[in-house]
Amino acid sequence: MQLVKDCIEMQELAWSKRSSGLKTALVPTMGYFHAGHLSLMRWARENADFVITSLFVNPTQFGPNEDLSSYPRDFDRDFALAEKEGVDILFAPDVEDIYDPKHLTWVEVTELDQGLCGQSRPHHFRGVCTVVCKLFNLTLPVIAVFGEKDWQQLAIIRKMTEDLNLPVRIVGRPIVREPDGLAMSSRNAYLTPEERQLAPNIYAGLLEAKAWVQEGIVAASKILGRLNDFYRQKIPAGQIDYLELVEGKSLQSIDRVCAGALLAVAIYLGQARLIDNILLIPEE
C-alpha cells in the first residue's frame, strides 16, 4: 500500500488510474480504524479496481467546543489495518495542504443539515460536505463508500452529489456493531469502563422500539416517550441530545411510523457523544 500525503501527487495518481480505465473507490475516514471502517474498505476492495482510503481529521467539521484536539489517532495501526484490507493508497494529507489559509469556499446542503445532529453541531455538515467534495476532486472516484451509522451525513452527501452532478456513485453500508450491540465508533475510546457497560443500551432501546412497532404502536409521540423513559432508566448517566422519528430520505419528522421510517438518537455519555439509528420499517 502506498502512502500519499501530497494533494497534487494524489490528483496526478488519480488521473493516471482513471485514464488507464481503472475504477477507483474512495473510503473517506478520520482514522482510528475499527471494524466499521474496515467493512467499508472490504466492500470497496470487492467492488472496484483501485481503492483509496483517506485519513483526515477534518477541522472544519468540529465546533469550537468539540473534540478536535483529543480526537483519537494511531497512524501506524491504521496504516497496517488498511494495508491488510488490500487498500491501494492511504491518502493522509496535512491540514495545511487541504485548507489554504485563504480558503473561502464552502459546500452547504441546506434543509437536510438543520435537524438531528445539525441542531447541536451547526457548521458540522458544511465542513463535511466541503472536505468530501475536495476529496472527490483529489481522488476522482467512481464510487464513494460511507457508513449508515452517520445516516444524516450519508443523506446529505447523496443530495450534494445529486445536486452538484458529481460523477460519483454513493454507496451506504450497514452499521457494524460490537457483540453487545454498541455501534462501533472511534469515539467509543472516550468511554470509561462504567460508561462502556451502559452504552449498549442505546441500541437495546432502538430494538425495543422496533418491537413496539411490530406490536402495532405507530404514533411517534408514544414511541419517543417510551424510549425516552427507557434511556433515562437504563442510561442514567447519559444526556439525550435528540431522539427523533424521521423519514429516512427527507429527514423530515413524522408523526406516525411509515415505510422508510428511521429512529435516530444521539446521547452524551461522559466525554463521548454517541449516535445510532434503526430503520423501523424498510423502505418500499
Give the range of 5-13, 17-25, 34-42, 229-237 binding ligand AMP by CB under 6 A. 34-42
Q: Taking CB under 6 A as the rule, does residue 171 contact ligand AMP? A: no
Three cell numbers, residue 104: 473561502
Find the binder of ligand AMP among 30, 107, 160, 267 (CB under 6 A). 30
- Of the candidates 65, 67, 54, 41, the one whose C-alpha atom is nearest the C-alpha of residue 97 is 54
Give the nearer residue to ligand AMP in terms of CB position, either 58 or 220: 58
183 binds ligand AMP (CB under 6 A): yes
Burial code (b: 16+ CB inside 10 Å, e: under 16) for 229-247 equals ebbeeebeebeebebbbbe
Given candidates 90, 155, 184, 202, which one binds ligand AMP under the rule CB under 6 A?
184
- Choose the binding region for ligand AMP from 105-113, 170-178, 243-251, 264-272 (rule: CB under 6 A): 170-178
Which of the stretches 113-121, 175-183, 190-198, 270-278 binds ligand AMP when contact is defined by CB under 6 A?
175-183
Task: State the nearest-atom distance from the C-beta of 269 to ligand AMP, in Å.
Answer: 16
Closest residue by beta carbon to ligand AMP: 147
Residue 157 CA to its chain's centroid (Å): 10
Determine how many CB atoms are found less than 10 A away from the CB of residue 137.
13
Residues in 215-274 at the binding interface with ligand AMP, rule: CB under 6 A: none
Active site residue 124: no
User: What is the identity of the amino acid at 268?
Assistant: Y
What minimum distance in Å lies between the beta carbon of 215 and ligand AMP? 28
Q: Using the rule CB under 6 A, is 93 a contact of ligand AMP? A: no
Nearest to ligand AMP of 156, 176 (CB atom): 176
Name the grid cell of 56: 483526515
Does 277 participate in binding ligand AMP (rule CB under 6 A)? no
**Residues forming a β-bridge with 173:** 147
Please report, as residue ranges, which positions from 126 to 155 form the binding site for ligand AMP (by CB under 6 A).
146-147, 149-150
Beta bridge pairs of residue 278: 263
> Which residues 6+ apart lie within 8 Å of 94 measured at CB?
5
Which CB sits closer to ligand AMP, 34 or 226?
Answer: 34
Overall size of the chain counted in residues: 284
**CA 36 – CA 276 distance, rounded (Å):** 13
> What's the CA gap between 208 and 254, in Å, rounded?
19
Phi-psi region of 21 (alpha: psi -120 to 50; beta: other; left: phi over 0): left
Which of 37, 103, 123, 124 is flagged as catalytic?
Answer: 37
The residues of the shown chain that bind ligand AMP, judged by CB under 6 A, are 29-30, 36-37, 39-40, 146-147, 149-150, 173, 175-176, 183-186
Q: Which residues are catalytic?
A: 37
